[in-house]
Amino acid sequence: MTLSVTEVSAPAKRFLATLLPIALLSAPLTLFAQPSASVERQSVSDALPLEDIQTFAEVFERIKRAYVEEVDDRALLRNAMRGMLSELDPHSAYLDEEEYQSLRESTQGEFGGIGIEVGMENGQLMVITPIDDTPASRAGLLSRDIIIAIDGTPTESMSLQEAVTLMRGEPGSELQISVLRSGEDTPREFTLTREVIRSESVKHEVLEPGYGYLRISQFQSRTTEQAREALEQMAREQPLEGLILDLRNNPGGVLQAAVGIADLFLDDGLIVYTEGRLSDTEMSFSASSPTPAGDVPLVVLVNGGSASAAEIVAGALQDQRRGVIMGTDSFGKGSVQQIMPLGNGEGLKLTTALYYTPNGRSIQAQGIEPDVNVVRGRLEVAERRPEIREADLEGHLSGQQAPRDRQEMTERLSNDYQLSEALNLLKALNVVDRRRR
C-alpha cells in the first residue's frame, strides 16, 4: 500500500508535512552537489528515509482512528520520542517536565525517596547500588537485586524513569517493593519509609594506629574537598602507614569529583579520557602535583555496585600502579550522559561518549577487575578451648616483656570481611617494604 498525504488525518498530515521538506532538503545533497566520497557517504546516512517516515505517519493514523480509546496527539508523539531514546541504551531517556525537574533535584543532593540507584539490564529493573545511610541500605537491599514490583505494580514493562518516579515521594510515606535476588526463587518483600535523602559522600576513621579508612559513597561537587580534609585530619593524628579507599556500592556522580579524588593519590599521568562522535565530547584529564596522600600504601575496595565515576578512579589507580584493587568485579558503566534541556521545560538524557582508563581500556560492559578477588562476607570469632602456653607452666623461666600494641577488632572490621582483608594486605605490604629498606 502506498500512502499519500491526503489519506491520513489532519494531525498526521501536519506531522508528515513537517518532516517531508527536511527529508527532501537533505536528499539533493547526494544527488546534485557532487561531494567527495566521504562527504557523500555521510550525506546518504544523514538523509531522512521517506518510506519510513510514511510508515510512521501510517501507524500514527491507524492508532488515531482504530485504538479502543481516543489518544491525544501530544501523548502519541511523546511516547514515540520515549521509544526512540529508550531503544538506544539503558541510560538515554526522554524526560518530561516533571522527570526533568526530578533529575535536577537529585543532582542537587536532596530529594524524597528510599536512597537507591537503579538501572535497566535485559529489560529488568536492577539495583545498581543502595546509597549509604538510607532506607534502602538499612533494609539490606543489594547491588544486582532485581526489582519485580513497586507497590504491587509489576516493573516488567515499566521504563526506568517511571520506576524512579514511583519510588520517589513524600518523606514519611511507605513504599513496598518486591525483589528477586540472584540464586533465589522466592521474591523478597521490603516495606520502606521514604526519607529526605541527603547523602554525605565522604566518611573516614582510623581503623588501627597508622591505618586509615576513607569511604566515598558517591561523587558530588564537594567530594574532593571533603576527602582532602579527611586525609589531612587522619595524618595529623598519626602519620599514615596505609590507607583503604572504599568505593563499594558507589554509583558514580560528578566526573570532575572523580578526577579530583584520583588526583589526591597521583602526582602526574593520565586519569581518564572520553571519546564520542562530537568534538566537545572528547575530553582528557591528567593528575597534577603535589598529592596530599604522598606514597602511602593504598588498597581500593570495589564491588558490583561500584559504577561509572567510581570505576574511573579505580581504573586510573590500577593502570598507574598506585594501589591494589581488591574486592569483586565492578558494575561496568563506562558511558557519559549529557542532560540537554529543551525549550518546553522538558529534556533529554543522552549517551554521548565512553570512558577509557589511562591504558585505553573501555569500562563499558567490562568493568574493573580487581587485582585481588575477595568476596563479601562477615568475620566471626569462634569460641576456642583455652590453650596452655609456656607462660602457664609452673616454674617457667621469665623472659623480657615486649610491649604489645594490639587493638581489639573494631565493629566495622568484624562485620566486613573485605575490609579486614584489605587491612591485612596493607600490613603485609608494609612488612615487605620495611624488609627491602
Q: What is the pLDDT of residues 163-184, one digit of tens each?
A: 988 998 889 999 999 999 988 9
Catalytic residues: 308, 319, 333
Locate the domains of the chain by residue range: 5-71, 93-198, 202-336+346-373
- CATH number for the region 202-336+346-373 comes to 3.90.226.10
Residues in contact with 114: Cβ distance below 8 Å, sequence separation at least 6, in sequence order: 134, 135, 136, 167, 175, 192, 194, 195, 197
The H-assigned helical ranges of 88-214 are 97-107, 135-139, 160-167
Half-sphere CA count of 157, side-chain side, radius 13 A: 0
Q: Are 370 and 311 in contact (CB under 8 A)?
A: no
93-198: what CATH class? mainly beta
Q: What is the pTM of this model?
A: 0.72
Grid coordinates representing 124 are 529488568
Q: Which is more confidently placed, 66 or 343?
A: 66
Grid coordinates representing 313 are 578512579
Query: Which range (13-27, 106-120, 313-327) has the least confidence?
Result: 13-27
Residue ranges with strand state E in 10-109: 93-95
pLDDT in tens, 245-295: 999 999 898 889 999 999 999 999 999 999 999 888 899 999 998 888 888
CA distances for 141 relative to 130, 154, 287, 322, 373, angstroms = 7, 18, 36, 32, 22
pLDDT in tens, 260-272: 999 999 999 999 9
